[in-house]
Amino acid sequence: MAMILSCSDSRVPIELLFDVGFGDLFVIRNAGNAFTEGSLASIEYGLEALNIDLLVVLGHEGCGAVGAACSNQTNLSPSLSELVLHIRKALIDADVPLDPEQAVRRHPVLTAQQLIRSSQLVAERVKSSALTIEPACYTFDHGNIEWMGSIHDG
């Protein structure tokens, strides 16, 4: 029924959060719910092969990857460093303060925008309203999902 690009964090169990089971969600996860070639390719598969019309990009409070991007952590492995720097650059380019509380809420929006910019398929589906992207942030305090506003057209 939907695709979810979320963080790998174990405190964000997607099927439990959305109260769904087998066969319901097409889930893509990585540290920091980030744009990567792999996440984009998986989303394109969901569009082409499964014709899914809803993508939720779900960040969360206390995200380690987004926190590292805000603090410019330097003791990371090369691959992780690349991912974190990518998140940091997206935040800086969008003038988002490097404050974890704000960054975890804005980063899902930035990831959604980058998916649209980087993929003709995603852009066309959004433009023709065949795909709605919903950036959101899961908060541990109240167990709420804060919705950041639909992206109908990038």
> DSSP class of residue 33?
S
**What is the total residue count of the chain?**
154
Among residues 68 and 115, whose Cβ is nearest to Zn ion? 68
Q: Is residue 63 close enough to count as binding Zn ion by CB under 5 A?
A: yes
Residue from the set 7, 25, 55, 126 that interacts with Zn ion by CB under 5 A = 7
Nearer to Zn ion, 40 or 63 (CB): 63
Scan residues 8-27 and list those touching Zn ion (CB under 5 A).
9
Which window, 21-29, 55-63, 87-95, 135-143, contacts Zn ion (CB under 5 A)?
Answer: 55-63
Quote the distance between the C-alpha of residue 149 and its chain's center.
14
Q: Are 71 and 114 in contact (CB under 8 A)?
A: no
Give the long-range contacts of residues 36-39, CB within 8 A, separation 24 or more: 36/83, 36/86, 39/5, 39/115
* Nearest approach, Cβ of residue 126 and Zn ion (Å): 25
* 5: contact with Zn ion by CB under 5 A: no
Q: Quick one: DSSP state of residue 107?
A: H
Given the rule CB under 5 A, which residues bind Zn ion?
A: 7, 9, 63
